[in-house]
Amino acid sequence: MALIEFDQSKKRDIVLIGRATIDFNPNELNRTLDKVETFSMYLGGSPANLAVGINKLGNKVGFIGCVSDDQFGDFIINYFNERGIDTTQMTRAKNGEKLGLTFTEISSPTDSQLLMYRNQAADLMITPQDISEEYIADSKILLISGTALAASPSREACLLALRYAKKHGVKVIFDVDYREYTWKSKEDISIYYSIVANQSDIVIGSREEIDLTEGLPEDSGIADHELAEKYIASGSKIVIIKHGKKGSIGYTADQHAYKVESYHIKLLKSFGGGDAYGSAFIHGLLHGWEVPKALQYGTAHAAMVVASHSCSNAMQTVAQIDAFMEEHKDEKVITELDWRDRI
């Protein structure tokens, strides 16, 4: 029996709520942003990237969000529509708010920086009135991006979506997805993150993000497994805590812990892997896979995307990931750990 079982009578595999933005990635690599002359434009924003990745793997995806009422907003809506991602729950900003823009700096394959413009961001203008109980109820999974909790009215919209999901037996994934922009204080972060984390079936975040959720200092001395135990006691089935280049650990409610490492590939950039990882991992869970297999699929997808120039456009198909895994079948990237082990 799978650790998480989904109601197969529901129409949609997953609905995501959060930001859809635009990424400008440099065409001139291995230099700082001030030396770049041209950029390529892509759809961006972690939940939007996740939506594209999950959809590319053959799942039915819907998106709840607000975009600007201009050509950039058109770009987002058209991008989703062309790929079969449902946009019926997306709205347009009414007071001139604009899409968030991210300029990426790829100064080396292992050193990338993000420069974000998020003043008056359209994605934070989604309101509780924009949330359809019927739409949430007819989805197997609701994924909430932590960035959408940064300001009103978006945070109230997310909390209402969460209420509907719990009411109708929809599984909840919390992708912590911390971005310092638009948050006012660490207390705000902890309040809203913890509300969602403690009602989620799956929590995914870096150790820094989990510490922010719990209001912990960096040197708290609290081990990963202790944090996982807290969420599992609240009802979570899976908790994934990321440690950057060291890999991540997936903790499960049946008391297993799995270390996830990266495949050995030639990096082009050091961002975008998390969204690819998440999309393939969720795909595996939707198809009833055991957690280690889903984690391996996720890290394979991540390796493929960080070797590509974009994030959204680089999301892979099932056949492509399967071929990559066959090519790298001799690499061991999943190791079961003792529950209390650290990395």
Q: Is residue 53 part of a domain?
A: yes
Q: What is the pLDDT of residues 36-81, one digit of tens each?
A: 999 999 999 999 999 999 999 999 999 999 999 999 999 999 999 9
How would you classify residue 288: left for phi > 0, otherwise alpha for psi between -120 and 50, otherwise beta? left
Residue in 90, 110, 101 with CA at minimum distance from that of residue 29: 110
CATH number of the domain within which 178 lies: 3.40.1190.20
Residue in 204, 199, 213, 297 with CA at minimum distance from that of residue 251: 204
Q: Give mean pLDDT, residues 93-118.
A: 89
Do 68 and 94 touch, CB atoms closer than 8 A? no
Number of domains in the chain: 1
Q: Is residue 21 part of a domain?
A: yes
* pLDDT for 307: 83
Statement: residue 268 has pLDDT above 80:
no
Q: Is residue 109 part of a domain?
A: yes
Q: Is residue 84 part of a domain?
A: yes
Residue in 39, 16, 17 with CA at minimum distance from that of residue 29: 39
Q: Is residue 172 part of a domain?
A: yes
Rounded to the nearest 10°, the torsion over CA 325, 243, 20, 7 is 60
Q: Is residue 240 part of a domain?
A: yes
Edge-to-edge strand order for the sheet containing 101-108? 39-44, 21-26, 101-108, 111-117
Do 146 and 193 touch, CB atoms closer than 8 A? yes
Q: Is residue 173 part of a domain?
A: yes
Q: Is residue 148 part of a domain?
A: yes
Percent of the chain's residues with pLDDT above 70: 99
Instruction: Report which DSSP code applies to 11.
Output: S
Q: The domain containing residue 96 runs over which residues?
A: 12-248
User: Measured between alpha carbons, how far is 132 from 111 in angstroms, rounded to an integer?
Assistant: 41
